[in-house]
Structure 1
Amino acid sequence: MIRYALLLIAIAALGSCGGGSSGCNVNCTSSSPTSSWTWVGGSNQTGAPGVYGTKGSSSATNIPGSRYISISWTDSSGNLWMFGGWNGTTTFLNDLWKYSPGTNLWTWVSGSSAANASGIYGIQGISSARNVPGARMGAVSWHDSSGNLWLYGGYGFDELNLLPGTLNDLWKFSITTNEWTWVSGSKSTGASPAYGAKDVASTSNTPGGLLGAIGWTSKDGHLWFFGGASDLATTTTYNNLWEFNPGDSTWTFRSGAGKTGSSYSTNVSGTYEVQGIATSTTVPGSRLDAISWLDSSGNLWLFGGSGFDGLGNPQGILNDLWKYSPTTKQWVWMSGDRRYKAYGVYGSQGEASPNNVPGARFHRTPFSWIDAGGSLWMFGGDGNGASTPPPPVLPGTASYLNDLWKYTPTNNQWTWMGGSSEINGIGVYGSMGMLASTNQPGGRKDSIGWTDLSGNLWIFGGFGYDATNSAGYLNDLWKYIP
């Protein structure tokens, strides 16, 4: 934890223009006819505290405090949900919030308003009003067809609350009863993976303690899980794909390097093969903090992250786009570079092109949405814009992006939809609640995002630039109308 905390302090200390000559200490957004961003709530400056109010009661004054690496869901009624995160060098959170876009009100639903709360697990498989996951960041989230919210693992506190570590506990939250259920996994940190036989389900299997993995929910209600790191330094990463069946609480190891003999296979290079062609040997390399989507056909998509490319290079940021079919159980490399640290090719804003591609990035903030037409959207992150000098950006440097991208699977083309083509753009907030052509969230990493019932895109918080060009933890809420 200390090592990661020092890294965060160093990032913040880089100030407004980290990254040398490619830094952007003004709003570098390309000229665009209009912007569809509205600052809806929260502060336009970093470090804002939370206002919790009364648990279970919405209020116009309620607001979650500044944070990043939280967990998010959208329920069937269009409400936006958020759990936990991190807002300082020693501060993990386990508060659960609900936001109603219709009323513009936040409700503190569950968890503690204090930092570093331990988990209350209760009896496995039995819900209780007392149960609650421990404070954490970097967990994986899903929602099922019944409206339940699920989370797995992350980095934080277990039942004993001695020291934070990687977790492998799986939780379900019922929005009907407002109760948590500990479903599977350990009540302690540091659990190792247990693979079993490939494609064979078992209650004994587990992906192990991980942070920074990504997840999807397939049409059959199963939970899918890819990648992640088993240590806070994020130097031990996986490329394993897992499937969880809520019906019988079994995990199935589906794809990836897994285990060789008695050794776990980690930090594995990707096997890219031919772009657009599925093969039994094609597979992404080990990584964490990638971006994920689930399309209407049930295919799983992922983009980038911090991990290993196809050329044997050391760990670095990636911009490769992959698709996985649960039906054929095969990966396809769809777009991007097989080499790490690629820069973006932006083209003209609003115009799709086969030459366009986002730059390499990681840190989960390139969070994602799917629109009604099946296009994949993502925003921001920590990585590369369009400029080639200075030398390629490495993980951990202050290079926060606020570019908005759309990918259309039917023509395999990216479109730069808004934001800056360079790093570290400041936030332009305008008046709260008022759409303006100049509005733009600042460059940031590790925000969370949702899609509401009207197809609007929402983002909350993260670590990045506010209206004063200062970098820090944010609690601003934004809406984007596609």
Structure 2
Amino acid sequence: MFQHAPSDVDGISPAETLSQLSLLTEDKQHLMWSRVQLPPGSVIPPRRSGAASVVVKGKLYMFGGYGGGTGRLDDFYSFSFDTNKWEKVEVLSDIKPGCRENNGVVIGDSSRMYLFGGYNGSTWLNDLWMFDIDTQKWTCIQESSEGISTSAVVAAPNNNPGQESESSSNSALVQALQRMATQRTVVVGVVPTHRFGYVSVVHNNKFVLFGGFDGVRWLNDMYEFDLQTNVWKRIAARGNLPSVRSCPAWAKDDRYVYIHGGYDGVERKADFFACDLSTYTWTELPCKGTAPSPRYFHSCCIHGNKLYTYGGYNGTDRLADMLAYDFETNHWTEVDCSNGERPSGRSSLVAQVYENCLYIFGGYNGSTVLNDFYKFRLKPVNVPSSALVTDLRQLMMREDLSDVTFVVEGREVHANRSLLAVRSAYFEAMLFGGMSESVRVDRDQQAPIEIHDISHSVFLKVLEYLYTDTVSEVTWDMGMALLIASEQFMLDRLKALCQDRLRRDIAVENVIGVLIASHRYNARGLKTIALEYILRNLDSPIVEEGLNDLKSEPSLLVEIITRSVSTRMAGMLGSDSATMHGGSEWSER
């Protein structure tokens, strides 16, 4: 996903040029704004900015926000894309989250939404809530720390208005508070501090949190909450971690969360990052083309192979521009959104994509908190996402559709001859001829094929790559094992993917092992990186001790010594040259 397209002499590749032209030549009747037409008498949510929102099961859900003169809100609305109607969500639990503005922190996972923290007008919060769409009930997973009450009690129904005594009212309140206690779960671990304006997503049954503002400091810490075990954990993120910030725009796909911009208390940001949620590894993405200017309180959504940003605040103006990032070319392009009934510039808006339209609601335009509702058609036709990889992954699991069986560590693995042969010269030779008679397998032979010198789990990962061209959730150890397997099965792209995975976690403790493995299995790029790392860290006792392991590979030891001597000689020559040059200048004066 992060591979750059090759550039031509002008610095813009043909693919990037086509990407720009595709946006410029889109039919303008499709790239246009329009107000969302609501049925007569339809409920319209009050004005708000900084509301939390998510799209689940054909509805846009919106909670809380800042209502201007009315303060922070705790109301809850849903908009049906089928009926074009807003309605207030009926909450059937005795408790619900209190008033707050969250800047879009509700996350949908199946039929559940999760809401963390925010700001209630006087206090920054760190409570965690879950709303079940099916039961229409809120559950308080974690109260805000330091005894801060963040719950609103839903009043018990009064069947005799005006006749309920004060004692019965108090009794109902006590009962509701008792039920609140039973509806909370036991949470353990390192709990994040209070904050708002952060990034939050749900991935693999974990609620993940990054950055924000706690009322005093801007943050770039990272946490995960396991939704099955109720355990918080501080994440030791890897890679190029974004600096401290609050209120960036963010969006998530199946594997990555992307963040753009934000504010660190001094300046607005314009940088752009992706975090691999399977490894918590951050990468700063290139901002080629017409990238968004520095801003925060803006929105970010993914549609197709593009990520769109809209609006925000640059410190002077509320913005109304839209920019698109193409994942295939790593190129930003400005989207012409001047057609139709264009919304005013705004920040802290609700923005969600449904089918092929971007919907925005409310926000703040610099003078007024809004409750207008617009949509922007992104594509003329909603083409469903490709299901090829998913389908091929299913094919890998289907024994009834297989026509070849392997045995690895005594366990059967079923696969498809033709697919393996097309994807790998090794398997083509094995299954359709070309290997020695002792290895080659006749097409009509149904006997299982023994595969040696590889573990069952690693062989499954090799098959996953052959079927889908990707490998998911690769640990360090699995990456090393796959590097070896890629050489065994002659899979150059898999080898490159393994090298890219392993180079991110090179450290003094493992660099010698990486060097040996990359040398033995012809991973030249990784070998070069390992050698350069060793040369930079020759003074490390751990690296120095690890050099003893190179007795089995004396050529590597010679290469390190040769490179080290060359580097020192170059440094000495450079120093002498600088001295001579400096003397010459001095004499001229």
Match of 1:357 in 2: 342
Q: CA deviation at 1:178?
A: 2.2
What displacement does 1:109 show? 0.4
Residue 143 of structure 1: how far off its partner (Å) = 2.6
For the Cα contact (< 8 Å) 1:70–1:86, is it kept in 2?
A: no
Given that 2:357 and 2:375 are in contact with CA atoms closer than 8 Å, whether structure 1 keeps it comes out as: yes
The counterpart of 1:281, out of the listed 262, 284, 289, is 289
CA distance in 2, matches of 1:48, 1:143: 24
How far 1:319 moved relative to its partner? Answer: 0.4
5+ residue gaps, structure 1, are 1-28, 51-57, 118-127, 158-163, 186-202, 257-279, 308-313, 338-353, 384-393, 413-482
Given the alignment, which residue of 236, 256, 262 partners 2:267? 236
Q: Distance in 2 between matches of 1:66 and 1:80?
A: 17
Does residue 1:245 correspond to 2:276, yes or no?
yes
Cα distance in 2, alignment partners of residues 49 and 380 from structure 1: 16
- Residues 20-74 of structure 1, C-alpha deviations (whole Å, 9 max, x = no match): xxxxxxxxx9995352658999999756899xxxxxxx97220111111355233
2:301–2:351 contact (8 Å) kept in structure 1? yes
Task: Judge conservation of contact 1:71–1:85 (CA < 8 Å) in 2.
Answer: no
* Aligned partner of residue 312 in structure 2, secondary structure: strand
User: How far off is 1:303 after superposition?
Assistant: 0.6
Count residues in correspondence.
Answer: 276
TM-score (norm 2): 0.43
**Contact 1:154/1:167 (CA < 8 Å) preserved in 2?**
yes
Give the AA of the match of 2:211: G
**For residues 404 and 156 of structure 1, do their structure 2 counterparts lie closer, same or farther at Cα, with a shift above 3 Å needed?**
same
User: Is it true that 1:69 corresponds to 2:52 in the alignment?
Assistant: no
Aligned partner (choices 284, 295, 302) of residue 294 of structure 1: 302
Q: Which runs of 5+ in 2 are unaligned?
A: 1-35, 47-60, 76-90, 150-186, 382-589
- Confirm whether residue 322 of structure 1 aligns to residue 355 of structure 2: no
1:358/1:108 CA distance change after superposition, 3 Å: same
Structure in which a larger fraction of residues adopt helix: 2
User: In the alignment, which of 246, 252, 255 is matched to residue 211 of structure 1?
Assistant: 246
Contact 1:72/1:80 (CA < 8 Å) preserved in 2?
A: no
Deviation per CA, 1:329-380: give whole Å up to 9, x if none: 111211347xxxxxxxxxxxxxxxx322111001x2x122222x22111110
1:401 maps to which of 370, 376, 383: 370
Q: Which amino acid aligns with 2:260?
A: F
CA drift of 1:172 comes to 1.8
* Mapping for residues 44-59 of structure 1, pairs under 5 Å: none
Aligned amino acid, residue 94 of structure 1: N
Which of the pair has more CA radius of gyration? 2
Q: Kindly tell me: are residues 331 and 148 of structure 1, through their superposed partners in 2, closer, same or farther at Cα, counting changes over 3 Å?
A: same
* Paired-residue identity, %: 24
Code of the residue aligned with 2:295 in structure 1: it is: R
State the match for 2:218 in structure 1: 166
TM-score by length of 1: 0.52
Compute the displacement of 1:283 (Å): 0.8
CA displacement, residues 145-169 of structure 1 (integer Å, 9 cap, x when unaligned): x232222100017xxxxxx200001
Q: State yes or no: 1:379 paired with 2:383.
A: no
* Greater length-normalized contact order (CA 8 Å, ≥ 6 residues apart): 1
The corresponding residue for 1:224 is: 258
The DSSP-based 3-state class of the residue aligned with 1:212 is: coil
Deviation of 1:246 (Å)? 2.7
Is the CA contact 1:93–1:115 (under 8 Å) kept in the aligned structure 2? Answer: no
| 1:33 aligned partner | 40
Distance 1:238 1:165 in 2: 16
Q: Tell me the CA shift for residue 406 of structure 1.
A: 1.2
RMSD: 3.3
Correspondence for 2:114 among 81, 97, 108:
81
How far residue 97 of structure 1 moved from its aligned partner, in angstroms, is 0.5
Determine the C-alpha separation between the residues in 1 that align with 2:278 and 2:135: 35
SS at match of 1:238: strand
Deviation at 1:96, TM superposition (A): 0.3
Could you tell me which residue of structure 1 aligns to residue 334 of structure 2? 333
